[in-house]
């Protein structure tokens, strides 16, 4: 079987266009503030991408590029001031923060209605009970891809490799909400190969290049590669051995061009949602 390649780049463009159109009906432009602490080059690339996405969607955006020596108190004061701003709907603090800064304290300080990453414990709790306003961007992007390609998780066995708070766990919750039977794997899972082979939908978010070999993919499975690794030449790649997996899968995401662009698009969706919430509060 030669798999259908799930085009995250094309779908992300479609989602952003939809967001741009929907934002026009709001009383003011949605606003996103992005905080970047330190000079991590990968974080800089991500922040630039988010600014471009905001421009494409007709959003207002602000960037705070702070030195690595920024104190916790300074960072908390910035978040507090952004929480109070009526023109800012979403606040995103680019992770990881430099050593010495308390990430969880910053994430907890962002007002839940402006938590467009969906990392605040309040929003994580709402997600657990299916009452969420926001969905974490990467898992939400995966769900959007499934839906675009007409893949209904209901009744399927979904295997998620990875249990991080930001990707693996919320991914499992979203699949469960859509009535999949979900297995979560991690570094202590004894027979990962066997569990993967049982997956109708296999989502890999381990960050281990080559982890998902072709023989770990069931014939006809949907294979979603969330990971962003670098090969020996510095080229971006996922966890999945793409060529071999594509021979067995029915659908597969490429890296790059699969989940990555969808993560960015879903941040725009969440910022629009936040702006709608704030507009409703103002009425």
Chain residues 241-280 in contact with ligand NAP, contact rule CB under 6 A: 259-260, 263
Please select the residue that binds ligand NAP; options are 19, 172, 226, 245, rule is CB under 6 A: 226
CA dist 77 and 199 (Å) reads: 46
Q: DSSP letters of 107-141?
A: HHHS-GGG-TT--SHHHHHHHHTT--S---HHHHH
* CB neighbour class for 231 (10 Å; exposed up to 12, middle 13-18, buried from 19): exposed
| 166 interacts with ligand NAP by CB under 6 A | yes
Q: Which stretch binds ligand NAP (CB under 6 A): 55-63, 220-228, 242-250, 270-278?
A: 220-228
| 207 interacts with ligand NAP by CB under 6 A | yes
| 189 interacts with ligand NAP by CB under 6 A | yes
Please select the residue that binds ligand NAP; options are 23, 161, 221, 222, rule is CB under 6 A: 161
Bond into 22 cis (ω within 30): no
Residue 131 CB, nearest approach to ligand NAP (Å): 24
Contact 90, 32 (CB under 8 A): yes
Please select the residue that binds ligand NAP; options are 69, 72, 147, 187, rule is CB under 6 A: 187
Residue 127 CB, nearest approach to ligand NAP (Å): 16
Catalytic center residues: 50, 94, 117
Interface with ligand NAP (CB under 6 A) = 138, 161-164, 166-168, 185-189, 192, 205-208, 211, 226-229, 259-260, 263
């Amino acid at each position: 079987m030669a798999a259908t390649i799930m085009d995250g780049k094309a779908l992300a463009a479609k989602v952003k266009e939809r967001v741009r159109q929907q934002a026009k009906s709001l009383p003011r432009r949605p606003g996103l503030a992005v905080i970047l602490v330190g000079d991590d080059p990968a974080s800089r690339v991500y922040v630039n991408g988010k600014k471009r996405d905001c421009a494409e969607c007709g959003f207002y955006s602000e960037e705070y590029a702070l030195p690595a020596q920024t104190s916790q108190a300074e960072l908390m004061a910035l978040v507090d001031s952004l929480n109070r701003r009526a023109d800012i709907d979403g606040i995103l603090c680019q992770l990881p923060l430099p050593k010495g800064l308390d990430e969880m304290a910053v994430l907890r300080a962002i007002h839940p209605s402006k938590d467009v990453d969906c990392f605040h414990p309040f929003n994580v709790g709402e997600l657990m009970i299916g009452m969420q306003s926001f969905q974490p961007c990467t898992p939400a992007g995966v769900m959007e891809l499934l839906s675009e390609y007409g893949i209904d998780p209901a009744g399927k066995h979904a295997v998620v490799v990875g249990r991080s708070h930001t990707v693996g766990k919320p991914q499992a919750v979203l699949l469960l909400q859509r009535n999949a039977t979900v297995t979560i794997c991690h570094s202590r899972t004894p027979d990962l190969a066997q569990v993967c082979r049982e997956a109708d939908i296999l989502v890999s978010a381990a960050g281990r290049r080559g982890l998902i070999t072709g023989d770990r993919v069931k014939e006809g499975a949907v294979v979603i590669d969330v990971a962003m690794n670098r090969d020996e030449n510095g080229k971006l790649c996922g966890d999945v051995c793409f060529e071999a997996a594509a021979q067995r899968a029915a659908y597969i995401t490429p890296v790059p061009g699969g989940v990555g662009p969808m993560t960015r698009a879903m941040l725009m969706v969440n910022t629009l949602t936040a702006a709608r919430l704030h507009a409703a509060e103002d009425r």
